Structures are given as C-alpha cells and as structure tokens.
Amino acid sequence: MIIFWLLGYLLGSIPSALWITRLFKGVDVRDAGSGHVTTTNTIRQAGWAAGALVFALDFGKGFLAVWLAHRAGLSGWSLALAGSLAVAGHCWPVFAQFRGGMGLATMGGGLFALSPLAFFAALATLILLVLVIRHSARASVIAGALVPIVLFLIGQRGDALWLAAFAGLVIAIRFTIDWNRKYRELWLDREKTQ
C-alpha cells in the first residue's frame, strides 16, 4: 500500500512542463506567465504542440498512479490517497524544488482511470464555474469542494468519489495561493484592456 502512495507522489513529481519548455525553447516555464508548471503556461511560452504534450503527460501521471494502485487491489481511501499524492506531487514536485503546477490535469487522469463519467462531470463542473465566476483560481477552489457532491448526485460512489474528495482538497489548497491574483494572461480570465 505505502509503495503505491510513494509511487503516486513520485509520478506526480515529474515536472513535464518544466522539461518540455526547456526542450522546446530552452526556458524555465516558471520564469514567465503565471509562474506555474502548467499546460497553459507551456502553451504561452512554447506553443500548442508543447502544451498538448505537457497535458498528455500530466494527465497520464494521474491515470497511471491510480490505474497501478487499482490493479494492485487498493480501493477506497487508500486508492484515493495514491491518486491524491500524484496530484500533490504535481503541485509540489520533489524533482523541481517543490515549485510545480496546479494539479488539474493530474486529477483528471486519475478520475478517468476509475470512471470516464466522473472525469467528464468534474470537467463540466470546473468549466461551468470558470464561466460563471470568471476567475480560474476561485472556480478551482470551489470545484474542489463541489465535485464530490456532483459525483454523489449523479450516482458515482466508491473509488471515484473518494478520489474526487481527496484530490479535490489538494486542488483547493493549491489554488488558494492565487485567490486574489489578477489573471491577465489566461483566456477565460483575461481582463479587458483599454
């Protein structure tokens, strides 16, 4: 059990955006834009192809951590902890001086490994909140709390619900650092320029 928790964290700690932006453009993704090791910041600095690769790798980290733990027989809170530690690893990666990303793609991969329906319900919840609130960090904090409720209401139980609750808490904590940040560079949060 503990080996899968450690594996989840180490998989999550692989800083895909950091390595890909260095490979594609020779820059540190954390030195510009949002300063986060994310798909969006990669797109901004290294282009769409690099961003798509980062998204796939970050999604894959969460998927693999949960899939391996599930195949090994973990379930409930112990499986959710393996997936949540992958998200925590992405947010605070040991391989990048604990300066990572925000964990959304990694959480998405973990949910998808258990239930595509849970993944799409969580994605829809987040998109709706971003469109209504018009602030990604605040929407993500609220989504972290609401997604488990949404999954429960649509009949998702067991492992997917546990993972949504645990990983949602990690996401909410991670995004609180940007609660008051002005998002001038993100598409949905861009302020109108005069």
Q: pLDDT of 17-26, one tens digit each?
A: 999 999 998 8
* Calpha distance 155→157 (Å, rounded): 6
Please, what is the average pLDDT of the chain?
89
Residue 135 has pLDDT above 50, yes or no: yes
34-49: per-residue pLDDT in tens? 778 888 889 888 989 9
138-157: per-residue pLDDT in tens? 888 898 889 999 999 999 98
Residue 132 has pLDDT above 70, yes or no: yes
Residue 189 is predicted with a pLDDT of 42
Q: What is the pTM of this model?
A: 0.88
- Dihedral, CA of residue 111, residue 166, residue 41 and residue 132, to nearest 10: 90
Beta carbons within 8 Å of 85's beta carbon, 6+ residues apart: 5, 6, 8, 9, 12, 65
Per-residue pLDDT band at 136 (split at 50, 70, 90):
confident
| Other residues' Cβ atoms within 10 Å of the Cβ of residue 153 | 9
Residue 32 is predicted with a pLDDT of 80
Q: Which residue type, as a one-letter code, is found at position 17?
A: A
Higher pLDDT, 136 or 61: 61
Residue 190 is predicted with a pLDDT of 44
Tell me if 92 sits within 8 A of 100, measured CB to CB.
yes
Domain extent listing, the chain: 2-178
